[in-house]
Structure 1
Amino acid sequence: MSAASGINPNIPHSARVYDYWLGGKDNFAADRRVAEETMAAVPGVRESARNNRAFLGRAVRHLTAQGVRQFLDLGTGIPSQGNTHEVAQAEAPEARVVYVDNDPIVMTHARALLTSTEEGRTAYLEADVRDPAAILEHPELREIIDFRQPVALMMVALLMHIPDSDDPAGLVKAYADALPQGGWLVLSHLTLDLAPPQVAADYLAATGRQAMRRTPRTGEQIARYFDGFELVEPGLVAVSEWRDTPLFPDEIPWMYGGVGRKL
């Protein structure tokens, strides 16, 4: 991969590290070095990333089978393989997807990689997910998404990057309030619930030395994000266990995931 204008290939970036774990090609040597170092420090992190992406795909396929044709995907990262619009439009070519991210590096990659079916629509908004009012009233979003019809709100591996000081529960509520009755929430989140105590302690020590912080939360905390939604079976579970046999058996489950329908 050659570096597009505005991208420094010598500085590792979290979205490209994640892309490497997913088996993508939109990463550089610096990203791969950090990815391998993290894999050495956090057992099962690559499998967890792949299971999280597989969960996204299964959730989107489930929703398209329910007739959903509109997706608002927040904090999307680089559009790696198996992203929301690829899965949705493979099932329903007329599906419409709006991605939101505020990272210039992600946006540079997105503009280069963005494709859509002729029948559907796909767009990227460069905006901060912590400003729901600006996003929900954005003219391009309103042009593509009709909030009078079912909409799936995708918050996959997003809220773990939102500290408590930014009120993640309030953010979920602000977006959920814009959904019509019968809208959907797809959410996954980092947890330490399922890791052995010493492994969890080692994770906290390792990530505490990193510049980019992630906030793991308990299943009880994550379940509260689904207030006002009815969780579909099997509920809030390890992402690898949501409605399928995992493609990549978890060494340690690091992520909870769930899908809920707005009451």
Structure 2
Amino acid sequence: MESGVQDTQLSQKQGAVYLVGAGSGDPELLTLKALRVMQRADVVLYDSLVSEDILDMCALTAEKIFVGKRRANHALPQEGINELLVKHALANKTVVRLKGGDPFIFGRGGEEIQEVVRYGIFFESIPGITAASAAASRAGIPLTHRDHAQSVQFVTACKKLGAPNEDYSELLDSTQTVVFYMGLHRLDEMTKGLIEAGRDGATPFAIISHASLPTQQVLIGTLKDIAEQQASASLPTPALLIMGDVVNLYGEFANYNLASLSQTLEVSCV
């Protein structure tokens, strides 16, 4: 009975919010379902990490509203984005909230859906390739490997309201790969904090900038020296940080990786 009621409701003309993961920036990594929804959008609220190539794949008639965030530079506060989602959906529009990566991995997707359902608005979340997967795959660094890493953690370098994430004691397992999001600006203090907490300074460490894009760069070092390496190399944001033994496989694969042969900047582990 419940399913029938929902089908009847959804068959009527009404607004809905589609939370769409745009992936890491390469338009060829966009899902077919995401593309289908984007092409019938009335309104698109998009982030700064959504590439122009992907934005151009949205419906030509759609109203496109930039609501991007970068560190200490928000085009619109989160509350304002929530209000826009609700406003346009209640006006019976198909609203696409277009986010870089995956909406539910450090994308505030859960917070936005909480607001949407509070107003009785239907939604659908369409996953995207998160930056960690795109960066690691493109660079040839497997996040898990039976001989090197039995688990992987995705960790944000900053908590709510910009507070630094200093839970280093939870990141000391040498059989685990750790991927840090939004951590490049905190690289020096994070690496020092991890070593002080007990993580071996010789742990392999990678910085991957502009994951999956033609401008992708990879910097390889160790926990102890990666901050010094980055001070010289100056890889730009957005960037992912990968820590763990799997980073050593980059050197083993690099000369045969078609995805990265012409794009990477390599500094070997010492």
**Structure 1 or 2: more helix by fraction:** 1
Larger Rg: 2
Common fold, TM-score beyond 0.5? no
Per the normalisation by structure 1, the TM-score is 0.34
TM-score of the aligned structures, taking structure 2 as reference length: 0.34
